Structure formats: structure tokens, C-alpha cells
């Protein structure tokens, strides 16, 4: 697995399909498989400024909150694969364009084929739409498990929404509930 993962990662790092993103990126952020102890993968949207600088996923403010929320749910970050729908930072953190998500789709699909997670948590609308299709709303799909092409997917809010709406906002509470659901599902499956 490790050799295959490293090989796939090298191919992702060399991707030049999205000309705008290639021109503005500092690094490509393929994602990290973690120890993958419970075969959980989380999928975010796209690298932000700090991820683009470090070449690592979820290392900025959203990442710090994600780490905390995973730990609170009993799901350690270092045991979890941390991936994203697109691997290069959109300038100014704009939402990725549909064409960019389409270009990058085979990379995430290949990562999921290789890792074969028991459960995927999609963080935010871009990731949720990646799995559940274009008419997805987070309020409409969160809180339950979806079966998508033989994979189990829980879709929930992105940690950046939890930061934006604050400690008493709905996204933080929903994220906590949905990660607790993920932990229960993984516990049941062990």
C-alpha cells in the first residue's frame, strides 16, 4: 500500500491540469493516509494558504479545530486519512470551480480506491456534492449514513463554517454530532 500511495502522491504532485491553480500554487496538497487504524477518511474542500505553504492538509485554523473535534469524538487525526476534493489552493480561497473539481476527481477517486475506507466523512458542501451530487444541501444530507458506490459516507459541515458561525452556531454542534455518529459506526464495525 505504502509504495502505491507514494506513487499516486507523486503523480498528484506533478498534475498540471488546472492552469490557473498551477500558476498560483506553491505546493500541491495530495493529503495524508495517516495510520488509518479504523479506516476512516475525512475529505475536505481544498487547501488554504497554510496548507499551500506546508504541502500538508488541514494545518491551519480549520485543521486545528478538526483535530480537536476528531479527538473529542475519539477519532485521532493521526489514525485518520485526511484528503480533499481538490489538491491545489484556489486563489484567495475562492470556492473551487466545477471544472477544477472535475479535473481533480480521478485523484481523490484513486486515493479512495487504494485506501478503501470503511467510512468517509465529507466536510463541507464541495466534498458532500462530490459524493452525493449537485443538488446536495448540508442541512438535507447530514446526520445519516449514505451508501455511495458501495462506500459509506457521512456528510457534514466544514470546520471553517463552525469557526464562522461560532461556538453557539449550528455547524459546530452538527459537526460534533456527525463525528460522534462516525465514531459509533466505526465502533460498531470493529
In the complex, what is the shortest distance from the CB of residue 69 to ligand URA, in angstroms, rounded to a whole number?
Answer: 13
Binding residue (CB under 6 A) for ligand URA from 5, 36, 58, 157: 58
What phi and psi, each to the nearest 5 degrees, are found at residue 70? Answer: -60, -45
How far apart (Å, rounded) are the C-alpha atoms in residues 75 and 119?
12
SS3 188: helix
Binding residue (CB under 6 A) for ligand URA from 84, 103, 111, 136: 84
33 binds ligand URA (CB under 6 A): no
Rounded to 10°, the helix 61-72/170-189 angle is 50
Residue placing its CB nearer to ligand URA in the complex, 171 or 187 = 171
171 binds ligand URA (CB under 6 A): no
90 binds ligand URA (CB under 6 A): no
Binding residue (CB under 6 A) for ligand URA from 30, 33, 34, 47: 47
Considering CB under 6 A, how many residues would be counted as binding ligand URA?
12
Binding residue (CB under 6 A) for ligand URA from 42, 46, 69, 88: 46
SS3 4: helix
52 binds ligand URA (CB under 6 A): no
Grid coordinates representing 44 are 475536505
DSSP run (H or E) holding 114: helix 98-115
In the complex, what is the shortest distance from the CB of residue 15 to ligand URA, in angstroms, rounded to a whole number?
Answer: 16
57 binds ligand URA (CB under 6 A): yes
Grid coordinates representing 162 are 463552525
Residue placing its CB nearer to ligand URA in the complex, 36 or 52 = 52
Nearest residue to 82 via CA among 45, 41, 47, 28: 41
C-alpha distances in angstroms, 141 versus 24, 75, 122? 34, 22, 11
- Judged by the rule CB under 6 A, the positions of this chain that interact with ligand URA are 44-48, 51, 57-58, 60, 62-63, 84
Amino acid at each position: 500500500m505504502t509504495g502505491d500511495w507514494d506513487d499516486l502522491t507523486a503523480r498528484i504532485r506533478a498534475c498540471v491540469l488546472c492552469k490557473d491553480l498551477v500558476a498560483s500554487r506553491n505546493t500541491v496538497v495530495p493529503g495524508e493516509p495517516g495510520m488509518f487504524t479504523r479506516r476512516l477518511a475525512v475529505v475536505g474542500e481544498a487547501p488554504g494558504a497554510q496548507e499551500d505553504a506546508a504541502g500538508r492538509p488541514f494545518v491551519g485554523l480549520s485543521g486545528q479545530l478538526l483535530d480537536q473535534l476528531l479527538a473529542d469524538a475519539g477519532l485521532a487525526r493521526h489514525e485518520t486519512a485526511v484528503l480533499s476534493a481538490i489538491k491545489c489552493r484556489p486563489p484567495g480561497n475562492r470556492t473551487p470551480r466545477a471544472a477544477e473539481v472535475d479535473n481533480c476527481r480521478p485523484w481523490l477517486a484513486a486515493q479512495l480506491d487504494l485506501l478503501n475506507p470503511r467510512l468517509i466523512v465529507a466536510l463541507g458542501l464541495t466534498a458532500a456534492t462530490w459524493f452525493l451530487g449537485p443538488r446536495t444541501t448540508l442541512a438535507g444530507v447530514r446526520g445519516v449514513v449514505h451508501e455511495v458506490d458501495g462506500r459509506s459516507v457521512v456528510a457534514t459541515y466544514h470546520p471553517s463554517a463552525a469557526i464562522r458561525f461560532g461556538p453557539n452556531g449550528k455547524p459546530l454542534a452538527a459537526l460534533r454530532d456527525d463525528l460522534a455518529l462516525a465514531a459509533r459506526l466505526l465502533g460498531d464495525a470493529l
